[in-house]
Structure 1
């Protein structure tokens, strides 16, 4: 699409232009607002010429799968739920700096084995400003990113979600896969991911924060919270939550002290020098 064509077009019109140029497509749907919004828009443009593909694994919270299934049933999607097999990949399990490359390689490879349609992702413009080795895997599988092609960032995605009638999903908090909570170099273990998810759910139920992450670092567990939630955490609540999370971690075989800190995006990611 040329610059002159985009002048005066809304984000929705630009996205619809990109989607309507496709003969058929397969969308990798994670269960987050980006992919759910893309799937909703694509279904309305392409109808039965688009299929949705959702991968389950210990790194994907059950509520993401439930959310995807519910929206698929409501909107009448063709939904394929499968295991992409990344937990059988020793490179992924080793949790190197480019772990996401191996995750997405397994994901897109699995989708490609299940359909010959062009694969689309919910990547938006904001994602391009971060280190995202998964984009390298996407490139190798000729995956296209309609939001990027239409010049749409995260704020626009949320506005589109609301415009498309997705209601509360438009405000769905960002929730990267559970493996993103594990510090680079610490092996990815399903039992630890289950612990991370349970700890986060306990924190959310107790504090109702805007953001909560349970980070597993070398020899310790750090609960990261948005500033307002962190400031509201008095000594009693802090001690109670700390004890609860220590118990959750211990049940998963992880003995480590628990501390609280301000939320930092990607703080367990350690980009090591070459």
Structure 2
């Protein structure tokens, strides 16, 4: 099946919109193929402000209506406890809220940006999507991550080369309860590194300290800007550590 064929059969749908590469392309495709579509973005403590700003910009550029929902994800005990199935409980809570808003607005389908490269066995949140009957057109149509980026570039979407981004909860070690103040420090730290020219990196917590993960290509930049990095992060963390295992994973 093609995306054009999918939307011919789904003329009215809601898109769970994160502002990332996949959901941005999905929203564009829905508009491109004549779907009556609305984007829904859920703002929680797990999402940094720049993601919301990117989502708003993309929705404007593709001329799609967008609803922003706010929820206190830390009020979900299993999400705040940060156990090995945190992602399942988080997705279950967020997509239940998305479904409620979509149905209230008259949308019979809820779509997400899971693509054909995503491994269901490595993403426990996918179980929640299946249980809630969320459709994933990119996956159903066999469109891989590489194809999403290529097609996004051809469509002129600014998100085409946006680095993969996992929610802020992934910066806290599994089993360590998530506190709002820790997420805020991580967000501020990552914003500071982004302003210093870094991309595709993480500031992870380790016993309250900042553990930096950057790609091999950006290790020289980190050493070159060492003093600026310390000046930005030392007010937030008691120590700043460098993980010499260069960043490769997408979480």
Instruction: Show the counterpart of 2:15.
Output: 27
**Distance in 1 (alpha carbons) for counterparts of 2:34 and 2:84:** 37
Q: Does residue 83 of the first structure (1) align with residue 66 of the second (2)?
A: no
C-alpha contact (below 8 Å) 2:45/2:73 kept by paired residues = no
Q: Which runs of 5+ in 1 are unaligned?
A: 2-13, 250-255, 268-274
Question: What's the CA shift for 1:101?
Answer: 0.7
Q: How do residues 131-146 of structure 1 correspond to structure 2 at under 5 angstroms?
A: 131-146=122-137
**Distance in 1 (alpha carbons) for counterparts of 2:62 and 2:217:** 37
C-alpha contact (below 8 Å) 1:220/1:257 kept by paired residues = yes
Q: Does residue 41 of the first structure (1) align with residue 29 of the second (2)?
A: yes
**SS of residue in 2 equivalent to 1:188:** coil
Instruction: Decide which of 172, 181, 187 is 2:177's aligned counterpart.
Output: 187
Question: What's the CA shift for 1:157?
Answer: 0.5
Per-residue CA deviations over 1:105-125 (Å, capped at 9, x if unaligned) read 111100111123211110112
Question: What's the CA shift for 1:241?
Answer: 1.9
C-alpha contact (below 8 Å) 1:84/1:106 kept by paired residues = no
C-alpha contact (below 8 Å) 2:7/2:33 kept by paired residues = yes
Tell me the C-alpha RMSD between the 2 structures. Answer: 1.9
Q: Does residue 211 of the first structure (1) align with residue 193 of the second (2)?
A: no
Question: What's the CA shift for 1:73?
Answer: 2.6
Instruction: Decide which of 155, 161, 170 is 1:171's aligned counterpart.
Output: 161
Instruction: Decide which of 229, 236, 240 is 1:241's aligned counterpart.
Output: 229
Equivalent pairs, count = 245
Per-residue CA deviations over 1:103-146 (Å, capped at 9, x if unaligned) read 11111100111123211110112221661111000001001111
C-alpha contact (below 8 Å) 2:165/2:250 kept by paired residues = no
C-alpha contact (below 8 Å) 1:209/1:226 kept by paired residues = no
**Distance in 2 (alpha carbons) for counterparts of 1:75 and 1:237:** 38
Q: How do residues 52-131 of structure 1 correspond to structure 2 at under 5 angstroms?
A: 52-116=39-103, 117-128=108-119, 131=122
Instruction: Decide which of 239, 244, 251 is 1:257's aligned counterpart.
Output: 239
Question: What's the CA shift for 1:187?
Answer: 1.4
**Distance in 1 (alpha carbons) for counterparts of 2:200 and 2:121:** 19
Instruction: Decide which of 139, 143, 149 is 2:140's aligned counterpart.
Output: 149
Instruction: Show the counterpart of 1:6.
Output: none
Specify whether residues 257 and 264 from structure 1 end up closer, same or farther in structure 2 by C-alpha distance, changes over 3 A only. Answer: farther
**Distance in 2 (alpha carbons) for counterparts of 1:228 and 1:140:** 40
Specify whether residues 219 and 64 from structure 1 end up closer, same or farther in structure 2 by C-alpha distance, changes over 3 A only. Answer: closer
- TM-score, normalized by length of structure 2? 0.90
Instruction: Show the counterpart of 1:5.
Output: none
- TM-score, normalized by length of structure 1? 0.83
| Bigger Rg, structure 1 or 2 | 1
Q: Which runs of 5+ in 2 are unaligned?
A: none
C-alpha contact (below 8 Å) 1:125/1:152 kept by paired residues = yes
Question: What's the CA shift for 1:42?
Answer: 0.6
Question: What's the CA shift for 1:212?
Answer: 1.2
Instruction: Decide which of 212, 216, 222 is 1:223's aligned counterpart.
Output: 212
**Distance in 2 (alpha carbons) for counterparts of 1:73 and 1:186:** 38
Specify whether residues 194 and 88 from structure 1 end up closer, same or farther in structure 2 by C-alpha distance, changes over 3 A only. Answer: same
